[in-house]
């Protein structure tokens, strides 16, 4: 983050707020059409990383508007460990009632290449709901590295 540029500092918060609004708009039809059906109890949004990290922050920003739209509490649960693979295992083994959801990032796609055995299949055990964030990445090096651009 560039401390001298306040607009750049606010960008992640604006992106998260836009994502929360999008989730609320997407979830609104569910709440209207599912009166008395789903969700009938709190929804658990499982985060594979520690509280206070970027994925946790986004999850907590989504939980409130999502809960209001669905008419049900959305609880954020941090289930950490094993390089982010414990949380997907928990969600894959949860009752298939829509009350346990996973918020994850690129790690969901890379886990099969990194681990010989997973207790879940990223393609078969999950249903894609939607993208909630676009995270910019940067390439960094030591200060004395001679290159200062991609060329």
Domains located in the chain, CATH noted: 39-128 (3.40.190.150)
Q: What is the pLDDT of residue 137?
A: 77
Residue 135, sorted as left (phi over 0), alpha (psi -120 to 50) or beta, turns out to be beta
Q: Are 99 and 132 in contact (CB under 8 A)?
A: no
CA–CA distance, 59 with 53 (Å, rounded to integer): 10
Q: What is the pLDDT of residue 150?
A: 82
Q: What is the pLDDT of residue 31?
A: 45
Residues 6+ apart with CB under 8 A from 120: 85, 88, 89, 91, 92, 93, 126
Q: What is the pLDDT of residue 17?
A: 54
Q: What is the pLDDT of residue 2?
A: 44
| Tokens found for residue 151 | 């060329």
Which pTM does this prediction carry? Answer: 0.70
Mean pLDDT split into 10-residue runs, the chain, 151 residues: 50 55 51 64 96 94 95 97 96 94 91 94 92 84 88 83
Q: How far is CA 16 from CA 5, 70, 85, 146, in A?
A: 19, 19, 24, 35
Starting at the earlier edge strand, list the strands of the sheet with 43-47. Answer: 74-78, 43-47, 100-102
Q: What is the pLDDT of residue 24?
A: 52
């Amino acid at each position: 983050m560039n401390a001298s540029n306040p607009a750049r500092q606010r960008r992640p918060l604006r992106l998260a707020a836009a994502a929360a609004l999008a989730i609320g708009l997407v979830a609104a039809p569910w709440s209207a059409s599912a009166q008395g059906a789903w969700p009938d109890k709190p929804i658990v949004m499982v985060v594979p990383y520690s509280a206070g990290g970027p994925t946790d922050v986004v999850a907590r920003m989504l939980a409130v508007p999502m809960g209001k739209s669905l008419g049900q509490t959305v609880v954020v649960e941090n289930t950490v460990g094993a390089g982010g693979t414990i949380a997907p295992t928990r969600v894959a083994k949860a009752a298939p009632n829509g009350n346990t959801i996973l918020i994850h990032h690129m790690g969901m796609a890379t886990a099969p290449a990194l681990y010989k055995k997973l207790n879940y299949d990223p393609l078969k055990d999950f249903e894609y709901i939607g993208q909630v964030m676009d995270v910019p990445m940067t390439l960094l090096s030591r200060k004395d590295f001679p290159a200062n651009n991609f060329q």
